[in-house]
């Protein structure tokens, strides 16, 4: 790597060799060469290129033969990297064609630069998305395990930053799982279509090439898709960019869901909350100034990626809306870095996420401590629902209003005294003959006011078995829903 190469110094979430291998310049170069070699093979199979030519082109399409930095600079002459690379590829093919089979005739015949680059970027995206889905599957399987293990672990639910109702950590993990699995299913359902339209999207050159053959341009395009492992396209899509914007949407959705999970972990791992902690690793989470710190850097990096994702996703839509004429000007060019950034962010973030979820430390005692901070006031909604119908109207106030007055009085006393005050005011308002002590104890037990938490978690995991993994108990074994 040259001294001035971009190694990702300011993009730590995606600064990994595995990310560079799938989305870097050399990955794009290799994909372009794969398209050209694949096309030569398709032409030879159809009898439209000399016998033996595809082997020569394949040998010449070895990425190590090419100077990526030099091609990048020369790409300014034609506004895309395919043009200078083709000149180099043709030289390599000519040099390697020692038996004079005429292999150069198979290079790029009837194609245009957009055919090759769009198809190459679909190859890059397919490979990157495969890696994203693999890591995402590991992350969601870990969350499914956490949900099962903590189906009855009490914690506090929070609404608008405040304690709201009793909750379970199992449901929280299931909701993290839900967002990631739903986004992952959207990503997994994408197609990566081949592009084949020629200079103006009419297949004129392809028609001329196949004029005296049994093949058609459509046959050739389908054969290229099969050769590369891409989806066939019903028609050329040089200005219809749904394949690109759909990919951007799905990647952004994955990053949204990952960011939500990371944001929750960041809050829950604060020392004053301390309900979870990231997995430890040597050298991770260190501070340059404070030796005692253990920063939750996995979540920090995941969240950083989520916060960056909306801009490149929007850029893809902005470009798509400005694809003018039958082949566009700068709008097409504006897609490339945005798409690659999204792929790199997703790869980096989900790689960090699968490590985070796989080793997340959970502290039920701290969860119960935080749940108890609100005391019985946390059950005020459930108390009102059960007790209000039992209260006779008094001073023009219905039962619900009387119980709200109990809460209002309780909130006037210091926080440390509110638990005792609530019980006292409640008993003053609701005598024991109306609400026996045993029933009051039930109503003030947070484990008794979880609604359908177990059922919700069950339904979430059951809806996405492909993301839940198999090495864990079935939800029926850990608390099935009622009814």
**Site of tokens 């996405």:** 464
Annotated catalytic residue, options 126, 138, 241, 327 = 327
- Catalytic residue check, 327: yes
Taking CA 249 as the corner, what is the angle to CA 246 and CA 254, rounded to the nearest 5 degrees? 130
**Whose CA is closest to 115, among 76, 80, 67?**
80
Alpha helix (H) ranges present in 113-168?
113-149
State how far the alpha carbon of 165 is from the alpha carbons of 141, 380, 388, 453, in Å. Answer: 27, 9, 19, 12
Strand ranges (DSSP E) for 204-342? 276-277
CA dihedral 27, 31, 33, 34 (to 10 degrees): 130
**Site of tokens 């106030």:** 397
Query: Encoding tokens for residue 230?
Result: 């891409």
The end-to-end CA distance of the chain, in Å, is 63
Q: What is the DSSP string of 57-69?
A: HHHHT-GGGS-HH
Instruction: Answer yes or no: are the C-beta atoms of 142 and 354 closer than 8 Å.
Output: yes
The rounded radius of gyration (Å) of the Cα atoms in the chain is 30
- Cβ within 8 Å of residue 466, ≥6 positions away: 185, 188
Largest Cα span, the chain:
106
Annotated catalytic residue, options 91, 280, 287, 394 = 287
Q: How far apart are CA 421 and CA 407, in angstroms?
A: 9
Query: Encoding tokens for residue 446?
Result: 């947070």
Q: How far apart are CA 136 and CA 142, in angstroms?
A: 10
**Catalytic positions, please?**
287, 327
């Amino acid at each position: 790597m040259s001294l001035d190469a971009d190694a990702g110094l300011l993009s730590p979430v995606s600064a990994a060799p595995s990310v560079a291998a799938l989305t870097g310049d050399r990955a794009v170069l290799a994909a372009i060469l794969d398209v050209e070699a694949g096309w030569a093979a398709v032409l030879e199979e159809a009898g439209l290129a000399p016998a033996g030519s595809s082997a020569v082109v394949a040998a010449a399409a070895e990425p190590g033969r090419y100077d990526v930095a030099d091609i990048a600079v020369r790409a300014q002459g034609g506004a895309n990297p395919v043009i200078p690379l083709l000149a180099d590829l043709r030289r390599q093919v000519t040099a390697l064609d020692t038996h004079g089979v005429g292999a150069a005739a198979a290079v790029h015949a009837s194609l245009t630069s957009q055919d090759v680059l769009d198809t190459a970027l679909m190859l890059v995206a397919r490979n990157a998305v495969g890696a994203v889905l693999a890591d995402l599957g590991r992350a969601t399987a870990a969350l499914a395990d956490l949900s099962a293990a903590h189906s009855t672990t009490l914690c506090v639910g929070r609404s608008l930053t405040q304690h709201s109702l009793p909750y379970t950590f199992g449901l929280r993990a299931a909701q993290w799982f839900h967002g990631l699995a739903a986004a992952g299913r959207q990503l997994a359902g994408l197609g990566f279509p081949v592009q084949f339209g020629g200079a103006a999207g009419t297949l004129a050159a392809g028609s001329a090439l196949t004029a005296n053959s049994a093949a058609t341009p459509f046959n050739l395009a389908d054969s290229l898709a099969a050769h590369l492992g891409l989806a066939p396209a019903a028609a050329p899509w040089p200005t219809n960019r749904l394949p690109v914007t759909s990919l951007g949407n799905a990647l952004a959705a994955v990053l949204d869901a990952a960011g939500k999970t990371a944001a929750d972990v960041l809050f829950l791992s604060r020392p004053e909350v301390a309900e979870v902690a990231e997995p430890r690793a040597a050298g991770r989470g260190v501070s340059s100034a404070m030796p005692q710190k253990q920063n939750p850097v996995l979540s920090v990096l995941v969240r950083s990626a989520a916060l960056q994702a909306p801009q490149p996703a929007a850029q893809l839509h902005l470009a798509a809306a400005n694809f003018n004429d039958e082949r566009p000007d700068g709008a097409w060019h504006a897609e490339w870095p945005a798409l690659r950034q999204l792929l790199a962010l997703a790869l980096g973030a989900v790689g960090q996420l699968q490590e985070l979820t796989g080793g997340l430390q959970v502290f039920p005692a701290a969860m119960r401590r935080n749940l108890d901070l609100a005391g019985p006031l946390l059950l005020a909604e459930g108390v009102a629902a059960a007790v209000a119908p039992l209260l006779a109207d008094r001073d023009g106030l219905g039962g619900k209003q009387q119980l709200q007055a109990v809460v209002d009085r309780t909130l006037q006393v210091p926080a440390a005294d509110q638990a005792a005050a609530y019980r006292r005011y409640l008993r003053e308002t609701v005598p024991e003959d109306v609400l026996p002590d045993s029933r009051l104890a039930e109503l003030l037990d947070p484990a008794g006011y979880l609604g359908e938490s177990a059922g919700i978690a069950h339904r979430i995991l059951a809806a996405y078995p492909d993301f839940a993994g198999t090495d864990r108990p079935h939800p029926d074994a850990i608390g099935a829903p009622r009814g």
